Amino acid sequence: MADLTFSGIAITGLAAAVPANTIDNYAYTEHFPADDVREIVDKTGIKQRRFALPHQCASDFCYAAANQLLNELEVDRSEIIVVDGKISTA
């Protein structure tokens, strides 16, 4: 295994973006009885889910998070060499 050393590199910030479109899990009774839905939501504690709109994709959220972070850190975009973005779903 290679042993690499880097200097002058740091993680100076972290950002995330999620869809604004939310769905109330208590209202999800189209396919399941309301009592069952309420029981599952109460047990899991997951009261809502977020969904991207049809015209949105993961890169839209990556861009929004990166833009917010760069503005907050007052980063000169011309000095950026590498941007590493990760996409995660829960």
Q: Is 4 helix (H, G, I), strand (E, B) or coil?
A: coil
Computed over every residue of the chain, the mean pLDDT equals 88
Q: What's the confidence (pLDDT) of residue 9?
A: 81
Report pTM. Answer: 0.65
Name the one residue in this structure whose structure tokens are 């047990």.
43
CA–CA separation, 86 vs 65, rounded Å?
11
Query: Kind of pairing, strands 48-50 and 22-24?
Result: antiparallel
Mean pLDDT of 15-32: 92
Residues 31-71 have pLDDT tens digits of 999 999 999 999 999 999 999 999 999 899 989 998 999 99
Both tokens of residue 7? 């200097």
